[in-house]
Structure 1
């Protein structure tokens, strides 16, 4: 949560919105509570997946469907690992490096370090609704994923007291997020996650 700052990183994933006051970490992509925006803000664009949408295929055919499924699996794995890391404010012992590049991981590590300094961890988990919107076949193939991240039940708590850390009431608890992935060999890896200042 930095002031009016949009973060592009690996499944955020802890991206931030505006950090009003303090240690209230809006974990990206993660607890990403876009503090400067309200849920009553702009609606998600038509291309943003709704909770009922599932991963779609960027082009027809069984091969495209399989590739889309692999992209979503990598994206989901990255989120699962991030959730585990934020739960203990440390990436050690998680699978983050298996689905998230070092570039994206660097931003997550910054969040985790800030959480450790503040004595905070998370409880619960975010709910994601990813959809593949584009796959580009090249020497290093790339994919774009659009998501609606729901952090309603993903809470920041004080590690000692176990009490919830109050966050700005105007923050977004459901926000639009996009991710970029690259195919390294046979594996898809999350290279960038961007939380949008937009409700979904």
Structure 2
């Protein structure tokens, strides 16, 4: 009698153990997720752990580069619009950089030309940074790829045919970006006349 009771207990225990395994969904020895389970001891306390602050100089450099990239998106819009209204140039550029784009666009549009397509700014790199001056300044060097830009005649809708054959489609360009009251702005953008 004692044996039957013991085997019944063992069978019931095996059924309970099998049900527990099935309930947790474990079918292999491998974890079901790449994330470790969250437990009270592994969860950081928000009052004791804070993220490592980013280096202010690196933050400034990233912001300057982002402004420069945004500037070129607005330049694309201005060059593509024969009314000379598209592109929020003053948001990202000032002084020489802004005036140069406006002048170039007006010149082109007066000759019934627009530039369609995208420009690509490759490898923008901060080559100098003076962040301790009254107006912080960063100089960025990059490779400007204009190979996907098409100078188009607005009257015919066809690509312009009178462009110089030896013009550079990828060239080094240096930009000076300053931090003004409203944020970072491109104040100068100078092609270096060199292939990249």
1:114 aligns with 2:110: no
Residue 91 of structure 1, CA deviation: 4.3
Aligned length: 140
For each residue in 1:147-176, what CA deviation from the matched residue of structure 2 results, as whole angstroms up to 9, or x when unmatched? 101111111000121111121111111100
In the alignment, structure 2 segments of 5+ residues that lack a partner are 1-53
* Structure-to-structure mapping, 1:145-156, within 5 angstroms: 145-156=140-151
Tell me the equivalent position of 1:143: 138
Tell me the equivalent position of 1:83: 76
1:132 aligns with 2:126: yes
Distance 1:159 1:152 in 2: 20
Tell me the equivalent position of 1:172: 168
Larger Rg: 2
CA contact (8 A) 2:84 2:106 kept: no
Distance 2:184 2:84 in 1: 20
Residue 93 of structure 1, CA deviation: 3.8
Distance 1:91 1:73 in 2: 24
RMSD over equivalenced CA pairs, Å: 1.4
Could you list the runs of 4 or more consecutive aligned residues of structure 1 that deviate by over 4 angstroms after TM superposition?
none
CA 1:90 to 1:149, structure 2 compared with 1: closer, same or farther past 3 Å?
farther
1:159 aligns with 2:150: no
TM-score (norm. length: structure 1)? 0.66
